[in-house]
Amino acid sequence: MSLPPRVTVVIPCRNDAQFLQPCLEALAAQTHPADRVIVVDNASVDASADVARALGAEVVDEAVIGVWPAAARGYDEAVSGTDIIARLDADSRPHPDWIARLVRAFVADPHLGVLTGGAEFYGAGPVVSYLGEHWYIGGGHFWIKKWLGIPLVFGSNFAMRVRVWERVRDQVDRTNGKIHDDLDLTIRLRFADGVRFDPELRMPVSARPLVTQRGLWRRVWRVVPTFAASWPEGAAWRRRELDGRHIPDAAPGVEESWTAIDEGWAPGFGR
């Protein structure tokens, strides 16, 4: 009998001590515990590092401010002695079976390289939560899938095999703290990496970026510099060349729908 894959959870964190504690407590309550939990302290001036250490996490420092520099540092630290790198944010609240779902999915399909899921927003009213889940996150998944041909990797809820990170670690714009790290990672991924989206793999995350118009639009418009930083790699024609295959367009007069039979969906993974 083969051993289960070793899982390291990476959490970029900057001045998020109050959110980090319940996040780490939720990780400690997993039915399948992580082998390692790495908190990347991104020049915090609060008690984030102390909270992490008190709850048993490893703490590494990253002085370059930004989610991408912090996340990349965490992935680099996780490579040694790990099979799967899982990622969430300090304000994530993973369900007790989150890691167990990830492990089952990767064991079931050796070709699966990246598995991502959706969001459940807490800390806001039902309207904001609905718009965040269906418009902000859901819309991002829909349009990125149509443009890139693979699902959007959601930074608060995904996992990848170490081999995937080893392939892209020098291709991503990892020192750029002004772009979406998860979108930049998605742009560098290929069909051969085995990227899948599981709609049942859901992550409770804070609705704080959505409660103000300024915060929401800042995140939405950050898509532009993210694509600009990777251009022309993010262009559909360029991705077709790199993948060596054609991404089929919808038939004339037929509206393309993103359903469970789409090759990017994985409704059975993680069950």
In a domain, 267, yes or no: no
186 within 8 A of 254, measured Cβ to Cβ = no
Start-to-end CA distance of the chain, whole Å, equals 21
DSSP assignments along 186-226, one per residue: HHH--GGG-EEEEEEEEEEEE-GGGSSHHHHHHHHHTHHHH
Instruction: Give the pLDDT confidence score for residue 220 in this predicted structure.
Output: 65
pLDDT digits (tens, 9 = 90+) for 185-197: 999 999 899 999 9
Q: What percent of the chain has pLDDT over 70?
A: 80
pLDDT recorded at residue 140 = 73
Q: Is residue 18 part of a domain?
A: yes
Is pLDDT larger for residue 155 or for residue 233? Answer: 155
Q: Quick check: is 27 in a domain?
A: yes
Domain with 239 in it: what CATH number?
Answer: 3.90.550.10
User: What amino acid occupies position 217?
Assistant: W
261 in a domain, yes or no? no
In a domain, 105, yes or no: yes
- What is residue 223's predicted lDDT score, i.e. its pLDDT? 80
Task: Give the tokens for residue 187.
Answer: 């742009």
Section 244-270 average pLDDT: 37
User: How many domains, in total, are found in the chain?
Assistant: 1
Instruction: Please name the residue that has the structure tokens 């360029």.
Output: 238
* Statement: the pTM of the whole predicted model exceeds 0.75: yes
**How many Å separate Cα 169 from the centre of its chain?**
15
What's the pLDDT score for residue 115?
98
- 130-188 confidence digits (pLDDT tens): 666 766 677 777 878 888 889 999 999 999 999 999 999 999 999 999 899 999 999 99
Tokens of 209: 């970026």
User: How far is it, in rounded angstroms, from Cα 163 to Cα 165?
Assistant: 6
Q: What are phi and psi of 268, to 5 degrees?
A: -90, -15
Per-residue pLDDT for 245 more than 60? no
pLDDT digits (tens, 9 = 90+) for 4-47: 899 999 999 999 999 999 999 999 999 999 999 999 999 999 99
Structural domain contains residue 264: no
Residues whose CB is less than 8 angstroms from the CB of residue 141 and which lie 6 or more positions away in sequence, other chains included: 118, 151, 152, 154, 197, 258
Residue 205 resides in a domain: yes
Digit-coded pLDDT (tens) for 102-113: 999 999 999 999
Cα gap 232→228, rounded to integer Å: 8
Question: What's residue 231's pLDDT?
Answer: 81
Name the residue range of residue 207's domain: 7-243
- Asked whether residue 264 carries a pLDDT value surpassing 70, the answer given is no
Mean of all residue pLDDT scores within the chain: 84
Assigned domain for 110 exists: yes
